[in-house]
Structure formats: C-alpha cells, structure tokens
Structure 1
Amino acid sequence: MYPILLLTLLINAVAMKQVDPKVELVANNMEWLGQAAVKVICQGKTIYIDPYKLTKSDSADIVLITHSHSDHWSIDDIKKVVTSKTTLIAPIECLDEVKDLPAKAKIGVIPGFKQTVDGIAIEAVPAYNVVKTKFHGRDKNFVGYILNLDGVKLYHTGDTERIPEMKSINADIILLPLGQTYTMNSVEEAAESAKDVKASIAIPIHYGMYEGTSADAEKFKSLLEGSITVIIKKPR
C-alpha cells in the first residue's frame, strides 16, 4: 500500500507545473471584484478589466473591456476609474458611447490587436461561444486579453467557451468564467481550457452573481489538483 501511495504522490509532483515566484506574486496581487471585473497592480500601473459594481473610485492607468454586455461594459463603473491619465481599450462598437470621457487615449480593438501601453504589452484574442452562439457569437469580435506583466503572461479570457485558439496560447495565469449559462458549457470544459493554455495558475471568475456557484469553483479546483494550481479568490 505504502509504495503505491508514494508512487502516486511522486507522479502528482511531477505532473504539477511548478509556479515561478514572479507568477505567484502577480496572482496574489490581483483582486477579483466580482463577475469578470479584476484589478491588477504591476510595474507601478493600475489596470482594470471589465470594471463592474465598483464600491469606490480609483485612478486607473489602463482599463480593458472585453465586450459590450452591460456586466462588462458598465459606463457608470468605467467613469469611476477613468481619469485624464487613463488609456481605455475596448471593442470598437463600445467607444462611440464614451466620446466625452476624459481619457488620455481611447483605443478600439478586434481580435489580433497588439500594442504596448505604459510599458505593458497587450494582445486581444478571440472570445466566443461555440455552442451558445446567441450570447457571444464569433462574428461579434468580442475579445479576451493577454497582458505581459513584467514577464508574466496573464490571460483574461472574457466571456467564452473552450475555443480552439486557446491551444495556441501560452499563459502563466488564466482568469476564466465558470458560469455554464452564458459561457463555459461545464466546469470540466473550464478545466480543460486551463490545460490548453498551459497555465501554472488558474483563477476562476464570472460565477456567483448571474451564473455559476462557489461549489463550481471547488469542483474546478479538484479537477485540476495535481496539474495546475487553482486560486479561489473572494470578490472584494
């Protein structure tokens, strides 16, 4: 019995991708604000992705929007963090609504966009439904984002199912939805998505508000046990 247990532990240790301290630092410093909203501070810059239901104002250097649905493109919340020093990056269809917003720059994106802003390399990648196409059709050109944060690649998937493009992405950290009504078709699919991008840390988001539960997050963690470190954050 003991030799078998030892062998199992050894196999799990080999399978588990070792987490670089720099990657761990970025993951630990990231705040989940509920739904798909996150705040990241890195390289002295404050970055918001899909700010939503914020409880206080802030001064962002970069604000990234994945798509035009109201729980991601919330103008009231965007106004809480955009100042004259902010670069706002969003799908092209969104920007007509914020012509008067006092941002330093407003950049419209589609999948394939690449640009360095304030020293941070940003890439927009596809985000869409394969099955539930009425919610996030591929033709909408909704996006996820890959950020290079001091050498650490952070991938916020946006609202998506598991898509073929994920296999060509290499990310250290993946932030992905667990809800199964509008995004992933199952928790298992979300876990496979984390494996597709070869992440060493996976952080589930987009659950607990309109779709998905805390139990889904725990299941996600158990599915990846021994292969990918899962950090379950509490929304702030």
Structure 2
Amino acid sequence: MKKTIGIALIGSLVFLGCKETKKQENLDMDSDPTYGVNGISPPEVMKEVEITPISHATAVLHWNDITIYVDPVGGTEAFEGQQKPDLILVTDIHGDHFSLETLEALDTEKAKIMMPQAVADKMPDEFTPQIDVLNNGDFKERYDINVEAIPMYNLRDEAKDFHIKGRGNGYLLNMGDERIYFSGDTEDIPEMRNLKDIDKAFVCMNLPYTMTVKSAAEAVLDFKPKQVYPYHYRGKPDVSDVAKFKELVNTGNPDIEVVLLDWYPNEDY
C-alpha cells in the first residue's frame, strides 16, 4: 500500500512539474519581446508571404502582420489601400528605386529602412534613427526577418557605369521557412548564380540597364528557385519579352514555376 501511495505521489509531482514547465513556457512566450510586438506571431503559426506588385521595381510584401515596401516610388497614391510599412528596402540611388519625395510623403515614422551607404548619403538627417545601412555581404534582422545584402552590378563593358559593383544591393529575405530574393538592377552575376535554396526570386531583365531575357533565364536555371517572378522589365518589348523568359525557363527546367504578375497595369506589356 505504501509503495502504491509513493508511486502516486511521485506521479502527481511529475504531472505538476510538467504543468509548471508548460505554464513557464507560455509565460516566456508572452514576455518575450519577439512575440506580440508589431503583430509578430510565434513560429508555429507563421503565415505565407503575400506579394502585391506596385510598379516596375516596387512591391509590397505582407507576412505575419508585417508590411514590407521594396523600392517605394510613385508617391502616396501608389500605396493607396496598403498598410503602413514596418520595413522598407531600397536597392539603389536611381529614381525607379529611390524616391526621397515618396519616403517623405509616406507614413514611415515607425518603419526601419534598409539601404546601401550610397542611398543613405542622400537621406535627410531626420531619417537617421530609422536607417540600417547594409552594404554588400551585410545582414540585419528586423521583425524576425533576416535580410542579407546581395551584390548587384553590370558585367558588360558598355553598361558598367550604370550599376557599379558595391554601390547597390539586391536583397535576400529569410522569412520563416521562405527565402525570397530581389535582384535589384543587375546582370547574371556569379553572386546570383550561386544562390541556394531560394523559394521566390524576383529577377530583372531590361536593356541597356540590366540584362537580356536570355541571360536572366540562364541565371535562373543555374540557381534553381522554386518560383521566379520576372520584374523590372520595362523597356523595348522585343528585349523584355517575359513570355520568352517563361518559355526558356520552363524548357530548361519545368520544375521552376514562372509567375507573371502585372507590374505595368497602365502599359501594354
């Protein structure tokens, strides 16, 4: 009888210990600033990334109640109906990627803004507390998103002055289980071709500023993202043929899904 009581008592203590541990785990999650701040959810309930093309190189991403603006240009009217940004990524100094007027017009008071030094040099002092300067190879974590700055530059001699190596950034976002790449303005550089385990890749293609459809397709076939989104393709229609890009990718590797979004709603592409 004593042995039975002893076993029961031990079992009760273990059970209480388990309950206390579980309670403490929940307490830790509630008190951990990683969760419950800015709408961030625990990892086990993370949502899929929602992508909204705005125009050309500009996009809005929504993930776990976090809103990300990529290369915001076009003024406030371009972002009507969108949530305020928590994180802003700027790739380069050119006007189709960096618009100080847009950044000043938008409600960015609570946003963190990641940009290369060349862009930061053009920002007014009042933005300084919000800015994270990332140069090629740097990375920073904000809102449980790890952002890595990937080089972007031209290879062709006649185009090298458009995008000089080291000035601008492509970005690789690690968001939960997804790895999302934005090329920025670049050609099919080794740093792109050597990317691994990319879920979604946004790849530019327009001459004379970036690369041909053929070069873009060959790069994609090298690094094999699960999905590729052609963007930043405004230019001469005969050299920015996204249907041709899709054909080249699907012929080379049918497992890569080519997703065509409407980046130019007011133009005939």
TM-score normalised by the shorter chain: which range applies? 0.7 to 0.9
Shift in Å, 1:205: 0.5
Give the alignment's Cα RMSD to 1 decimal. 2.2
**Any gaps of 5 or more consecutive residues in structure 1?**
1-24
Q: Which has the larger radius of gyration?
A: 2
**2:169 is aligned with 1:143:** yes
Matched with 1:99 is 124
- Asked whether the equivalents of residues 206 and 239 of structure 2 are also in contact (C-alpha less than 8 Å), the reply is no
Matched with 1:230 is 258
- Residues in 1 aligned to 2:118 and 2:92: alpha-carbon distance in whole angstroms: 9
2:178 aligned partner, one-letter code: V
What number of residue pairs does the alignment pair up?
Answer: 208
Shift in Å, 1:79: 2.6
The TM-score with structure 2 as length reference comes to 0.71
**2:82 is aligned with 1:56:** no
Percentage identity across aligned positions?
Answer: 29
Give 4+ residue runs of structure 1 displaced > 4 Å after superposition: 100-104, 210-215
1:44 to 62, 65, 72: 65
1:129 to 154, 159, 168: 154
- Residues in 1 aligned to 2:223 and 2:177: alpha-carbon distance in whole angstroms: 16
Matched with 2:115 is 90
The TM-score with structure 1 as length reference comes to 0.81
Q: Which has the higher contact order (CA 8 A, sep 6+)?
A: 1
Matched with 1:174 is 201
- Residues in 1 aligned to 2:123 and 2:183: alpha-carbon distance in whole angstroms: 24
SS at 2:120 equivalent: helix
Q: 1:188 to 1:214 in 2, by over 3 A?
A: closer
2:216 to 190, 196, 209: 190
- Residues in 1 aligned to 2:213 and 2:61: alpha-carbon distance in whole angstroms: 25
1:126 aligned partner, one-letter code: P
**Any gaps of 5 or more consecutive residues in structure 2?**
1-47
Q: 1:46 to 1:214 in 2, by over 3 A?
A: farther
Deviations 1:182-233 (A, max 9, x none): 001x21111112222220100011123x455796111111111213101100
- Asked whether the equivalents of residues 228 and 259 of structure 2 are also in contact (C-alpha less than 8 Å), the reply is yes
